[in-house]
Amino acid sequence: MEEFAWFAGIATCVKLLLIPSYRSTDFEVHRNWLAITSSLPLSNWYSDETSPWTLDYPPLFAYFEKFLSIFAHIVDPKIVDLQKGLNYESDSVIYFQRISVIVSDLCLFYGVYRLSKSLDIKKRRMLWIMILWSPSLLIVDHIHFQYNGFLLGILLISLSFLEEGKDLIGGFFFAVLLCIKHLFAVAAPLYFVYLFRHYCKGGFVKSIGRFIMMGIAVGMVFAISFGPFLYTGQIQQVLQRMFPFGRGLCHAYWAPNFWVFYIILDKGLAFLLAKMGFNIQTPAASFTGGLVGDSSPFAVLPRVTPLATMLLVVLALSPCLLKAWRDPQPRMITRWVAYAYTCGFLFGWHVHEKASLHFMIPLAIVAIQSVEDAKHYFLLSIVSCYSLFPLLFEAKEYPIKVLLLLLHSLLLLSVFTSKFGKRSSEAVGESLQRGKSDGKTSKGQKAAHEVDNGAGFVVGWVGMIYLLGLLVIEVWGQFLQPYLLGTERLPFLPLMLMSMYCGIGMVYSWIWQLKWIIKC
Amino acid sequence: MEKKKSKSKLDSTGNECWLLNGGRTLTFSCITVFAILVRVMVSLNSYSGAGDAPKYGDYEAQRHWMEITLNTPAKQWYQNSTVNDLTYWGLDYPPLTAYQSYAHALILHYFHPESVALITSRGHESPKGKLLMRWTVLSSDVLIFFVAAIYFVIVYYANRGKNKQQDMAWHLALILLSPCLILIDHGHFQYNCISLGLTVGAVAAIFSKNELVACTLFSLALNHKQMSAYFAPAFFSHLFGKCLQHRNPLLRVLQLGLVVLGTFILIWWPYLYSVDAVKEVLSRLAPFERGIYEDYVANFWCTTSVLIKWKRLFTTPSLRLFSLTATLLGVLPSMIQQIKAPSDQGFLYALLNSSLSFYLFSFQVHEKSILLPLLPATFLALEEPLLFRWLTYFALLSMFPLLCRDHLILPYVALFILFVLIYYIPGSRPTMNRGNSPTGLKKLVMILLLLCSLFLHIVYVTLRPPPKYPFLFEAVIMLVSCSQFVIVAVYSNIKQWMLDSSTWMNKEKKVQ
Residues 70-89 of chain A with CB under 8 A from chain B are none
Question: How many angstroms away from the CA of A202 is the closest CA of chain B?
Answer: 44
Q: How far apart are CA B170 and CA B89, in angstroms?
A: 40
Query: Which residues, including other chains, have CB under 8 Å from residue B40's CB and lie 6 or more apart?
Result: A399, A400, A403, B138
Map residue A281 onto helix, strand or coil: coil
Q: Measure the CA dihedral B325/B327/B328/B331, to 10°.
A: 160
CB < 8 Å to A121, chain B: 8
Q: How far apart are CA B478 and CA B367, in angstroms?
A: 10
Q: How far apart are CA B130 and CA A291, in angstroms?
A: 36
Q: Which amino acid is at A235?
A: I
**Contact status of A143 with chain B (Cβ, < 8 Å):** no
CB < 8 Å to B42, chain A: 17
Element (H, E) at B450: helix B440-462
The pLDDT confidence band at residue A426, using thresholds 50, 70 and 90, is very low
Contact B377, B484 (CB under 8 A): no
Q: Which pLDDT score, from 0 to 100, does residue A259 have?
A: 87
pLDDT tens digit string along A495-519?
Answer: 888 888 999 999 999 999 999 988 8
Average pLDDT over residues A212-230: 92
Nearest to B393 by CA among B467, B336, B477, B329: B477
Q: Do A426 and B22 touch (CB under 8 A)?
A: yes
**Contact status of B417 with chain A (Cβ, < 8 Å):** yes
pLDDT tens digit string along B106-162?
Answer: 999 999 999 999 888 888 999 999 999 999 999 999 999 999 999 999 999 887 766
Residues 19-38 of chain A with CB under 8 A from chain B are 19-21
Q: How far apart are CA B99 and CA B403, in angstroms?
A: 28
CB < 8 Å to A14, chain B: 37-38, 41, 414
φ, ψ of residue B158 in degrees (nearest 5): -60, -40
CB < 8 Å to B13, chain A: 422
- Count the neighbouring beta carbons within 10 Å of the beta carbon of residue A394: 12
Q: Do A395 and B128 touch (CB under 8 A)?
A: yes
CB < 8 Å to B410, chain A: 16-17, 19-20
Higher pLDDT, B333 or A299: B333
Nearest to A97 by CA among A10, A15, A164: A15
Q: Do B33 and A407 touch (CB under 8 A)?
A: yes
Q: Which amino acid is at A188?
A: A
Q: How far apart are CA B293 and CA B365, in angstroms?
A: 6
Q: How many Cβ pairs within 8 Å bridge chains A and B? A: 110
Q: How far apart are CA A317 and CA A187, in angstroms?
A: 9
Q: How far apart are CA A344 and CA A317, in angstroms?
A: 9
Report CA-CA distances (Å) from B440 to B2, B254, B444, B446.
Answer: 33, 53, 6, 10
Q: Do A410 and B30 touch (CB under 8 A)?
A: yes
Residues 90-129 of chain B with CB under 8 A from chain A are 127-128
**Contact status of A423 with chain B (Cβ, < 8 Å):** no
CB < 8 Å to A400, chain B: 37, 40-41
Question: How many angstroms away from the CA of B426 is the closest CA of chain A?
Answer: 6
| DSSP characters over B307-330 | TS-HHHHS-HHHHHHHHHHHHHHH
Can you name the residues that pair with A250 across neighbouring β-strands?
Answer: A351
Q: How many CA atoms lie within 13 A of B239 on its CB side?
A: 28
Contact A161, A191 (CB under 8 A): no
The pLDDT confidence band at residue A300, using thresholds 50, 70 and 90, is confident
Q: Which pLDDT score, from 0 to 100, does residue A298 have?
A: 75
**Contact status of B131 with chain A (Cβ, < 8 Å):** yes
Average pLDDT over residues A283-296: 50
Q: How far apart are CA B110 and CA B462, in angstroms?
A: 44
Query: Which residues, including other chains, have CB under 8 Å from residue A381's CB and lie 6 or more apart?
Result: A130, A134, A136, A360, A363, A364, A408, A412
Interaxial angle between packed helices B164-176 and B409-423, expressed in degrees from 0 to 180 and rounded to the nearest 10: 170
pTM as predicted: 0.90
Average pLDDT over residues A359-368: 92
Q: Which amino acid is at A329?
A: Q
Report CA-CA distances (Å) from A199 to A165, A215, A325.
Answer: 9, 12, 12
Q: Which residue of B has its CA nearest to A406?
A: B33
**Average pLDDT of every residue of chain A:** 85
B455 burial type by CB count under 10 A (0-12 exposed, 13-18 middle, 19+ buried): exposed
Higher pLDDT, A79 or A441: A79
Higher pLDDT, B301 or A423: B301
Q: Which pLDDT score, from 0 to 100, does residue B328 have?
A: 93
Q: Which pLDDT score, from 0 to 100, does residue B436 have?
A: 54
Nearest to A407 by CA among B468, B28, B473, B482: B28
The CB-based long-range contact list for B84-88 (8 Å cut-off, 24+ gap) reads: B86/B284, B88/B64, B88/B122
Report CA-CA distances (Å) from A281 to A286, A299, B2, B451.
Answer: 13, 6, 59, 75
Q: Which residue of B has its CA nearest to A415?
A: B5
Q: Which residue of A has its CA nearest to B42?
A: A17
CB < 8 Å to A425, chain B: 19, 22-23
Contact A73, A80 (CB under 8 A): yes
Nearest to A457 by CA among B9, B165, B30, B1: B9
C-alpha dihedral sign at B99, B104, B107, B111: negative
Regions of chain B short of the pLDDT cut 70: 1-22, 161-163, 427-438, 500-512
The pLDDT confidence band at residue A438, using thresholds 50, 70 and 90, is very low
Residue A144 has pLDDT above 90, yes or no: yes
Q: Which amino acid is at A135?
A: P
CB-CB: which of B9, B44, B417 is closest to A21?
Answer: B44
Residue A290 has pLDDT above 60, yes or no: no
**Contact status of A415 with chain B (Cβ, < 8 Å):** yes
Counting every residue written for chain B, the total comes to 512
**Contact status of A478 with chain B (Cβ, < 8 Å):** no
If phi over 0 gives left and psi between -120 and 50 gives alpha, with beta otherwise, what is residue A327?
beta
Nearest to B176 by CA among B151, B203, B199, B145: B145
User: Which site among B10, B15, B38, B41 would you substitute to test the A interface, given the most A Cβ atoms closer than 10 Å to its Cβ?
Assistant: B41
CB < 8 Å to A396, chain B: 44, 127, 131
Q: Do B414 and A16 touch (CB under 8 A)?
A: yes
**Contact status of A403 with chain B (Cβ, < 8 Å):** yes
ipTM: 0.89
Q: Do B33 and A413 touch (CB under 8 A)?
A: no
Residue A291 has pLDDT above 50, yes or no: no
Q: Which pLDDT score, from 0 to 100, does residue A451 have?
A: 42
Average pLDDT over residues A219-231: 91
Contact B369, B230 (CB under 8 A): yes
Q: Do B131 and A395 touch (CB under 8 A)?
A: yes
Residue A427 has pLDDT above 50, yes or no: no
**Contact status of B36 with chain A (Cβ, < 8 Å):** yes
Residues 134-173 of chain B with CB under 8 A from chain A are 138
CB < 8 Å to B138, chain A: 399
CB < 8 Å to B34, chain A: 407
Nearest to B41 by CA among A8, A142, A397, A385: A397
Q: How far apart are CA A349 and CA A184, in angstroms?
A: 13
Q: How far apart are CA A270 and CA A286, in angstroms?
A: 14
Higher pLDDT, A189 or A451: A189
CB < 8 Å to A19, chain B: 410
Element (H, E) at B108: helix B95-111
Contact B183, B412 (CB under 8 A): yes
Helix, strand, coil shares, percent, chain B, to 5:
75, 0, 25
CB < 8 Å to B128, chain A: 395
- Quick one: what percent of chain A has pLDDT higher than 70? 88
Q: Do B5 and A414 touch (CB under 8 A)?
A: yes
